[in-house]
Amino acid sequence: MIGPIPLIRPALLVACSALLTSPLTLCAQSSAALPTLPSAIPFDVTVVPPVSLDSLQHDFDVLSWETFSAMNWPVLPNGQPDTSQQIGQNGDNATVWETWKESAAVFLPGGVKPQPWGTADEGPIPEACQAMLEPGMRVFTRVGKTPGVLTENVQPFDTGPLIDQNGRYARFEILLNESMFDTIVNQKLYNKAAQASIDSVVFDCGDTTTQQVGAIMVKASWKILNETEITSGRFHKVKALIYTAPMDNPKIDEKCEIQTVGLVGLHIVHKTKEAPQWVWTTFEHVDNCPSVDELDAKAAYSFFNPADTMSPHNEPPPRPWDPNATEPPSRRPQVVRQAPIDAPTAALNATYQTALRAINPQSVWQYYELVSTQWPTAPATDCDVATSAPANMSGTPAPQFLANTTLETYIQGRTPNVSSSCIECHLNATTTNATFSDFTYLLERAQ
């Protein structure tokens, strides 16, 4: 295993020159001018010697980019990657991860068993949307990365909705891969009563030796595109039903509308043998917002207005919040990246974006960038983190803080217990009976 942070350099340097019993993959430095864009999701991190904390960050960032490539690969009707073409070869493409199970189709009313894997199922379709639904159309119902953003009754942080510079509310979804779905179904974790009899939740780890892909969660954020954005060729986009549920306080009307939405944020959370505390990857669209130290880098952004020099940064809009509204400029948050992307990650982004352009100069995927990858420097020795690492279940994550400006907009920064840290936050996740849920809040949705 990778080993604890105080011993990370000597322990791994010895491992690099000795015979390993761990499945940790070591390989020689590649001299290729451009990185490989794989169609298969990597099983685990590949560590390149000589090893240091910085080199390991690079290796996990490479894992993130390779995972991004494979998950966004053109997809066949059966959900497998279409290896007859390359990512972005035709500009934009339906992706592998978009065939996975939406969490609303897993945690159903009454705790009933979800439909089998491979069933086209977006979960319960609101009655207001049923007549408008077309085959294969996505349905977006969330205005926060957790269901109750308007009431904040299920959020781990006091946050608020994200509104773009067109005045429209962003939408969100959470999807699971087959490995994670199978564990939930096999252990009946979709049912609150069944959870009451379970004292341990352990999702599968990806393993290079067994060539098993571990559990993966995806959290995606989308913005409603205007006509200029639709034709810009800069967004991965889908046609979707946008649903707003009715509320009495504040008064919000029920509404269902068909819109073209563009991907603006993507969390990829992947459990592996070398990172049982999961690998926490986050990507964003390059046009989302500027870094706090480069406010005038571009003329226009999706979530920041360079001409507005008076409004505070990263402040949620005042209530009331109405997702049906087109909000005026005064109610559009000025989003900035509080912690700029590190230089080595930015350099890696440039190489992968160049590789994407080499496939197709019009590839939409060149307009996405890795913010960073959070990983445990002191990983648990087993996939059962609660049992194998009870004294340090977080695994001392690096970097300490990580935030996606579309998913943790209002909790960015570097303040412990206040700012966003994926692993530290999700360490608090439990089942409905307060059992540690292996770093996912999804199990709390069981009925």
- If you write DSSP's letter for every residue of 374-385 in order, what string do you get? EEESS--SSS-H
Are the C-beta atoms of 41 and 73 separated by less than 8 Å? no
Check residue 249 and report its DSSP letter: T
- Per-residue pLDDT for the chain (447 aa), expressed as one digit of tens each? 554 433 342 333 222 322 223 333 444 344 458 999 999 999 999 999 999 999 999 999 999 999 999 999 999 999 999 999 999 999 899 999 999 999 999 999 999 999 999 988 777 888 888 999 998 898 898 786 544 433 332 222 347 899 999 999 999 999 999 999 999 999 999 999 999 999 999 999 999 999 999 999 999 999 999 999 999 999 999 999 999 989 888 899 999 999 999 999 999 999 999 999 999 999 999 999 999 999 988 889 999 999 999 999 999 999 999 999 999 999 999 999 999 999 999 999 999 999 999 999 999 999 999 999 999 999 999 999 999 999 999 999 999 989 999 999 998 876 665 446 788 888 999 999 999 999 999 999 999
**Separation of alpha carbons 131 and 144, rounded Å:** 25
**Separation of alpha carbons 406 and 285, rounded Å:** 10
User: Which alpha helices (DSSP H) does 324-435 contain, by range?
Assistant: 343-359, 385-388, 422-426
Check residue 273 and report its DSSP letter: T
Could you tell me if residue 111 is left (phi over 0), alpha (psi between -120 and 50 degrees) or otherwise beta? Answer: left
> Does pTM top 0.75 for this prediction?
yes
Q: Tell me the pairing of strands 237-244 and 138-140.
A: parallel
Structural domain boundaries of the chain?
89-192+204-424
**Separation of alpha carbons 226 and 300, rounded Å:** 14
Residue 178: predicted pLDDT = 99
